[in-house]
Structure 1
Amino acid sequence: MMTDKPTTIKEIAKMLKVSVSTVSRALNDHSSIGLTTKMRVKKLAEELNYEPNQKAIQFLHGKSYVIGVILPELSESFFSAAISGIEDIAYKRNYTVLLAQSHDDADREKLLVEKMKTQRVDGLLVSVSKTTSTYEHFDNFKKLNIPVVFFDRVPPVKDIHYVASNLETGTFEAVNFLLKKGHRSIGMINGPQTLVASHERKEGYIRAMLSNRLKFDPSLMISCDLSEKGTVEVMDRMLNHKRKPTAIVTFNDYVALFAMRYVKSLNLQQIDFVSYANLPIINYMDYIPIASVEQFPYKQGKKAADILIDLINKPKNESATEQAYFHIVVESELVLSSKR
């Protein structure tokens, strides 16, 4: 009589008149089990639609084989590419991804971190929100010996694992590029000061100006909350500046699109924009950044996932003092627009 109850290893063992351990080893291709027995066990398991008890496997190995991922916005092409890299590595190494979005809200991020802990993920990958300014909510993972690897948006704290792009170098190249085109009044729409990436952009901008023996004007660098409204407010300040910029470096391609649309709505003389992220969509627009700093999100995601799974699988007897922290920097690259 057929039932909806799942078939167990114990039932297969009883039907074949062998031990439970023999069935278990046969299903897992253990070398101690002969080929004939393996074939008998697997044939019956298939006929009975046997499926492994994942909870039992997790208990046996002390793992869930699930990694958590918290990122700001999956709708952004950058993070979509990053999650593709993460999932490719997770699939390759037999892990499942549990994905959550903070929507750039620090309180939501804190709640998600707690939920990931409750779900017993084996490790966590995080790109912090733009409003996150404290990082104690990750401490419980450290206490439980659950590894956390940050990527792209990295906290300004010590003793963490991270993968990030070299934005200072990318910004230096971007500003140098504009200077070589003859621009001298170059504005920057930077991100929130809570983000390490904002500081890296600032340092690259200053270094480029000083290396060209030009004075750094801090009033031409304005922080923004990365929203369209915030971008328009910054653009108003830029356009009314006594040294109205002829070129502007923006925090990312979305900010660039907001700024360019606003400039176009005012029917102003075209301003040269350089951005970050190198989104595919910009190539389908009439007015686009003349260059964009490629940050290789897919590569960042793959590397971060690989590091996390390596940390999950490292020997548990390794002391904290012996642990080395992974600080991986992916070099950025200035990509010129094909429509130039």
Structure 2
Amino acid sequence: MQSKPTTIKEIARILNISPSSVSRGLHDHPSIGAVTREKIKQLAKSLNYEPNNAAILFQKGKTYTIGVILPELSEHFFSIAISAIEDEAIKKNYTVIFAQSHDNYEQEVKLVEKMKNQRVDGLLVSISKGTSKFDHFEKLNSFNIPVVFFDRIPPFKNVHYVACSLESATIKAVNYLLKKGHRSIGMINGPSTLYASEERKDGYMQAITFNRLKFDPSLVVNCDLTEEGTIDAANQFLNHKRKPTAIVAFNDYVALFLIKYFKKLNVINDFDIVSYANLPIISYLDNSPVASVEQYPYLQGQKAANILLDLIHSPNSENQAYYNTIVESDLIVNEVKE
């Protein structure tokens, strides 16, 4: 059975000196004589003493750990963002703790509390699709734990965030479809609780009205981002009196659900689909979206991590400006369907 790790108190007891003298001796403090310092180091080595880094960091008031809460680690977008966050954290000698909300608000609240109890120095968050209250994040202010949101962000400006320009991205997407000759364009949007859904809808409305077309609110359908929710939205379009010939999908996963369903019904060639995220897999599909919005997850993760690390190392200030960083998107056009 493995014995307990040797402590400074144990070394002090054997040498009959104080624990503070042992600590100073291990750190070559000049107040400890050379002979005593050597005795301390030799005994520590023979007993396989390892410094308690957690205790040392706790005394310094930092753990050099940051927390990250995401909806799903398995999503390609977030896996790329994670790589960027880890790359930036390692440069500053930080450890990263990852957790998944599984797009559940209650789980997100619990994870924020756990991250606080782990004494993380800061938190990066992409909120769940059900998050409409943010007091669990506001509570972290009293513990001096800064929070930076990215990708999925709260619907207000007095927070630190990094996000893609989804409104302008949607304008590009709809304009692209209009140039292809489509005049009835549907949108499968996300939950109304997500600010990203509002941005998509605003971009859609702007593009439609700018091109002197009448905005039809029934052509914008919210869904819960599941396959069942996507199928329900698809059926609403199939039964619509102005059945659309093109659809803007909330993301590539919704687009994949849509493509699968339309192929099953043998109507896939009746629609052009545009999506968001630009997953690598879509380029290998026989019936891929005609275009997808590139949201640059690595850049978002990189910028969010650097902002958080700056906040951790900056002195607290009541008048500190909020970092509101927008990453410009690009519409990536795939090959035209035969």
Does the aligned pair in 2 maintain the 1:12–1:23 contact within 8 Å? Answer: no
- 1:237 maps to 2:239: no
Output the CA distance in 1 between the equivalents of 2:80 and 2:317: 35
State the match for 1:161 in structure 2: 160
State the match for 1:149 in structure 2: 148
Q: CA deviation at 1:281?
A: 1.3
Structure 1, unaligned stretches of length 5 or more? 31-37
Output the CA distance in 2 between the equivalents of 1:134 and 1:260: 34
Q: Which amino acid aligns with 1:140?
A: K
Structure 2 CA distance for partners of 1:39 and 1:326, relative to 1, 3 Å: farther
State the match for 2:317 in structure 1: 319
Percent identity over the alignment is 63
Q: Which amino acid aligns with 1:58?
A: L
State the match for 2:258 in structure 1: 259
Q: Which amino acid aligns with 1:334?
A: L
Output the CA distance in 2 between the equivalents of 1:241 and 1:177: 23
Does the aligned pair in 1 maintain the 2:157–2:324 contact within 8 Å? Answer: no
State the match for 2:225 in structure 1: 226
State the match for 1:71 in structure 2: 70
Q: 2:328 aligns with which of 326, 331, 334?
A: 331
Q: Which amino acid aligns with 2:280?
A: P
Structure 2 CA distance for partners of 1:45 and 1:287, relative to 1, 3 Å: farther
Show CA shifts across 1:167-221 (max 9, x none). Answer: 0011110111111111111110001111110011111111111222222111111
SS at match of 1:248: strand
Show CA shifts across 1:51-76 (max 9, x none). Answer: 33112221231111111111101111
SS at match of 1:108: helix
SS at match of 1:99: strand
Show CA shifts across 1:7-58 (max 9, x none). Answer: 556888999x9x64665546xxx9xxxxxxx999999977875533112221
Q: Where do 1:22-37 residues align within 5 Å?
A: 23-25=25-27
State the match for 2:194 in structure 1: 195
Q: Which amino acid aligns with 2:71?
A: P
SS at match of 2:287: coil
Show CA shifts across 1:252-280 (max 9, x none). Answer: 00000001111110011511100000011
Q: CA deviation at 1:124?
A: 0.9
TM-score, normalised with respect to structure 1: 0.88
Structure 2 CA distance for partners of 1:167 and 1:45, relative to 1, 3 Å: farther
Q: Where do 1:299-318 residues align within 5 Å?
A: 299-315=299-315, 318=316
4+ runs of 1 displaced by more than 2 Å? 3-15, 19-26, 38-52
Q: Where do 1:96-175 residues align within 5 Å?
A: 96-175=95-174
CA RMSD of aligned residues (A): 2.9
Output the CA distance in 2 between the equivalents of 1:43 and 1:207: 74
Show CA shifts across 1:128-173 (max 9, x none). Answer: 1001111111121012221011111101134211111100011110
Q: Which amino acid aligns with 1:213?
A: R
Q: Which amino acid aligns with 1:191?
A: G
Structure 2 CA distance for partners of 1:239 and 1:56, relative to 1, 3 Å: same
Q: CA deviation at 1:319?
A: 3.0
Q: Which amino acid aligns with 1:124?
A: L
